[in-house]
Chains A and B, each alone.
Chain A
Amino acid sequence: MATPLSLLLIVAVTIRAALFRSTLAHLIAERVEVTSPLTAWKRVVEGLALLDLGVSPYAGDVFHETPLIIYIFHFLVDYAEVTFMLADVMVAVALYYAVRDYNKQVFRKQKFALEADRYPADCHELVRSPAEMHYVPLKVAMFYLLNPFTVLSCVAKSTCGLNNAVVSLFILSTVKGNVLLSAIFLALATYQSIYPLTLCAAALLYLMQRQFIPINACRLSFWWFVAQYAFMYLGSLFVMVGLSFFLLGSWDFLPAVYGFILSVPDLTPNIGLFWYFFAEMFEHFRLFFLCVFQINVFIYTVPLSIKLKEHPVFLIFMQLAIMAIFKSYPTVGDVSLYMAFLPVWSHLSRFLRNVSLVSFVLLTCSALFPVLWHLWIYAGSANANFYYATTLIFNLAQILLMCDYFYAFLRREHHLVHGLYPKRKDGSEATLVLK
């Protein structure tokens, strides 16, 4: 199994190295879909220059990455290309092992259920075979590494690749059941971009399941574990923030990074939903809608955690998708991370309804982004509405994709309990309709 993975890594690195050498790299780095004000490499370079001059890198409102990133690149700036390629490779390898482990568990659970004869008789079509699960981890790595979005993001040296690496390490350590590392990587991901905070619930659910702690608010063991995890998480977050303070010698980074993420002052167009809305809004509504939009990212955690408490890995996937869609400065790098998980749910394909439509819409939008950008910015003949319309459709398609997977997942679970061909009361075949 290691040979195809290493072959894949070689291919992926070759593509990236070739693109880094080509004239396209510069063009790609300028695309607003690929780099956001948070993740643009140009801004990191600016921050480094300021740091070298002895000025706070956050002076001048250009640089918005965390102090950690700037200190990493303080040493690695000459090897930036290698670093970004390594980050991508790291994501792929981490996801590969995480998914392999996860699949093993799924299979084991299924075996127990089969032995206990828990599935209805007509559900044997739904049972997953080891043969079809064998290549899933490799497909996940492939979906991440060969996804054009990831390639673009890496070639643009968007720091989104590093954030993805941290998140994927968090997923790996969670799936492996390492509580401490999980908390540390989650803290690191939160420190990098706040939003991964929502993955906390999924991690807790998964780890508790693994340690056979009942998920029940009346039990002491439940709260004890939550407290433990929260302590580790907050502790490491505190250490990171403290370390940043000691490195920089000032609290400048708090408003410049987290204030910037939460209050969305930069309305440069991107593939997200914030910029147009806040550019059009009257100033006195701004705070209210800012709260609405930001709460929107976090609020889904509660219902999803309740509904999916048995399936924390699917919950992680859903949360990643929600973040990629609703966060304040999304880039295609974020999209590629949750898309890497799609092969994990390939067994849902028989219940998916709109994937062909959605993939066509996503492809069309990806083609339309540069065209409408050109018409708006260079030709001056179109305007912001054209570009925003594409953004809206792109996000609608993503939401539809997410809902489709959610529906398919729930439906499969339903069938696993109630049988694949439900009967109506009068004995005729029933159809399931979502209304």
Chain B
Amino acid sequence: MGLLSDPNRRKALINLLTRLNAPICGMCYIAGIVWFMGLAFEPFILRTYMSESAMGSTMVEERFSGGERALLTAKEFGVQKNKAGGMPVDWLVETMKARGLEVYTQTFSRKLPFPDENKERFMVKGTNVYGIFRAPRTPRTESLVLSAQCSEENDNNQAVGLLLVMAQYLRNQVYWAKDIIFLVNEHDQIGMHAWLEGYHNTNTTGMDYSPLQGRAGAIQAALSLELSSDVVTSLDIVFEGLNGQLPNLDFVNLFNAFCQKIGVLCTIQGKLQRNDWDSTSGYSHAVQTMMLMMLKQASGSSWGDHGLFLRYHVEAITIKGINSHRQYKTDATTVGRLLEGMFRKLNNLLERLHQSYFFYLLPSLSHMAPISYFMPAFGLIAVILLLRALDLWAQITAPPATQDGVADVEQSSTSVLSVLTPVVISHLTGVALYTLPVRFQEIAVEHFPVSETEAVVLTAIAVYTAGLALPHNTHRFVSGEGTEQGWKVLKLVAVLHLSVLLGCTALLNFSLGFILALTLVPVAAGVTPHAPKLPTAVILVVLSPACILLFSVFVFHELQETPLSFQDGWLLFLSVISQGILDHTLYGSLVFPLVALLVYPCWLLFWNILFWK
């Protein structure tokens, strides 16, 4: 309590912090980045290990041998699909019934707010088919899900084939203590979303679906399969879910453990494991893998069908077969064995996966940085905002406190009210950015030669840019215009707003929080009305949320080793915006509202400060 009550010591500390504010802030920022880069360096972080004792070893004898049959079934499925011109519902129902499952279907329909140009859909109608294999050994209160999507092209037939053959094979075993649901969903995530909403009897996004006729127990874990070739060279694990949620690390470990056991090459973010962490290229490989994961997580969208399960507290991953030019190939039988082994282990679970970490960064499948390792990196950067706030507070309450710590608050009380105007106007702009794009698409299409999707994206960009014109207008309403005190109070409010916002974001979705902190904190800390206008304005715009998104698109493709030309990058940027809005309305992803309603208005406050007159 001495620090809080003794005015002398308190004053000394505040003096120190205000005098050395800039160097301390700079050091914190650099330390944050260095810490972050250290997270990809293997000696600094933890090895992954299986925490769940029920899944402790990989002692399972896999006997699956139906690979050939799976490929045949896949071919037949392909034929039936072409015949039906979509999902061959009747054939699937028949086939599943013939394999002894309880089969149900669910129909759903959804009208998108505007056409999705990437996947070319607007009015979506479809059917999910799922078969339940009831556990012979227990009272059927828990279940596992194996799913494969029925896509438009013939690129997931092998997965459906394998799923059907697995169903037949698993049914003949006696070990099962959990129901297993075999699900074939249409229209990828929309179908999965409809099925999950139906299963849990919720409706969060206003989707039309028929209620499910049959249910198994509470879903403990789900695995979704994507195979598009008869043989694969490696299996890729995808685990980033909706809103940056991650499955329990034990599930990822389980996949890794079985890949090691069976001898299948496994990749993460499409990158193979390397053992040369001490070489520069090995380290940069780890950094790239980690940054890819962070960019995917920060996007807040679900990177496979599994992503939607996570919202219902169901651990889930997607396994993707990759067929490259490598010599060594793995056939469908081996993939089937892998699945068998994983399901046998999941079957042993006594409670939901909860032992291991939920917050982690993976620079490789064998190493991970848990929350206690990566939060300091964020903390070091976020503390800059608090230091700046302290500095500003000390300046605002100047003339410096008399020696017994008496503060003079009277001056600030008037300017707090005058600061309210920019805050309110900025947030109203945010509300406009959130609501207008979808609302105004019809008007925009009538008056301009653009498609609906373009109209939405361009309206969003227009509102965004229009927000930049605000400072010239808001100043007329501000009563205490032009005072030194005024902008300092505004900046204090903005800095505290940003720090709370970033803190909450980093808890929900660390990657998003960290990327925003990395880019917004320097401008937030540095901006003053006395800075040279033009260069500062350029820096502010370059580090604004929209430009961060643009850079992220480029960086993402650079890391994936598929560099983009500027033209392509720009087009991709536009489609990412539309995808973000779609993700929000279709699945309830929170990144678009977060950016539109909170981050962007907060950034506008700093823009306001720069043009304070």
Query: Chain A residues in contact with chain B, CB under 8 A?
Result: 349-354, 356, 360, 363-364, 367-368, 371-372, 374-375, 378-382, 400, 407, 429, 431-435
Contact = CB atoms under 8 A, between A and B. Distances in A.
B379 interface: no
Contacts of B389: 360
Contacts of A407: 5
B208 interface: no
Main secondary structure of the interface of A (DSSP, over half): helix
Contact of A375 (B2, B7, B403, B507): B507
Nearest to A351: B406
Interface stretch (B141-149, B496-504, B532-540, B574-582): B496-504
Interface string B280-321: 000000000000000000000000000000110100000000
Contacts of A380: 313, 352, 354, 358
Interface-centre pick from B352, B354, B403, B507 (highest chain A CB count, 10 A): B507
Contacts of A435: 2, 5-6
B403 A356 contact: no
B6 A368 contact: no
Using C-beta atoms within 8 Å of the partner chain, give the interface range for chain B: 20 to 34
Interface of B: 1-2, 4-8, 10, 245-246, 310-311, 313, 352, 354, 358-359, 389, 393, 403-409, 496, 500, 503-504, 507-508
Contacts, number: 70
A433 B504 contact: no
A431 B507 contact: no
A375 B244 CA distance: 12
Given A360-B496, A371-B507, A435-B5, A350 B407 contact: yes
A431 B359 contact: no
Given A350-B409, A380-B313, A380-B358, A368 B5 contact: no
Given A431-B7, A435-B5, A374 B508 contact: yes
B496 A349 contact: no
11 contacts: A349-B407, A350-B409, A356-B393, A363-B496, A367-B500, A367-B503, A375-B507, A379-B313, A381-B246, A382-B358, A433-B8
A349 B496 CA distance: 21
A382 B409 CA distance: 40
A435 B311 CA distance: 50
Nearest to B314: A380
B496 A431 contact: no
Contacts of B403: 429, 431
Contact of A350 (B7, B408, B500): B408
Given A371-B504, A378-B311, A379-B313, A354 B407 contact: no
A378 B588 CA distance: 14
A431 B354 contact: no
Contacts of A433: 5-8
A371 B506 CA distance: 10
B490 to A, nearest CB: 16
Contact of B4 (A354, A360, A382): A354
A139 B246 CA distance: 47
Nearest to B499: A364
A360 B393 CA distance: 12
A379 B406 contact: no
Contacts of B507: 368, 371-372, 375, 382
Nearest to A407: B5
The 9 A-B residue pairs whose C-beta atoms are closest, nearest first, are A381-B358, A380-B313, A434-B5, A371-B504, A431-B404, A350-B406, A367-B500, A349-B409, A364-B500
B405 to A, nearest CB: 6
B313 to A, nearest CB: 4
Given A375-B508, A429-B403, 8 more contacts: A353-B5, A353-B407, A371-B504, A374-B508, A380-B313, A432-B404, A434-B1, A435-B2
Contact of A379 (B245, B352, B393, B503): B245
B402 to A, nearest CB: 9
Contacts of B359: 381
Q: Which one of A363, A380, A435 has the highest number of Cβ atoms from chain B below 10 Å of its Cβ?
A: A380
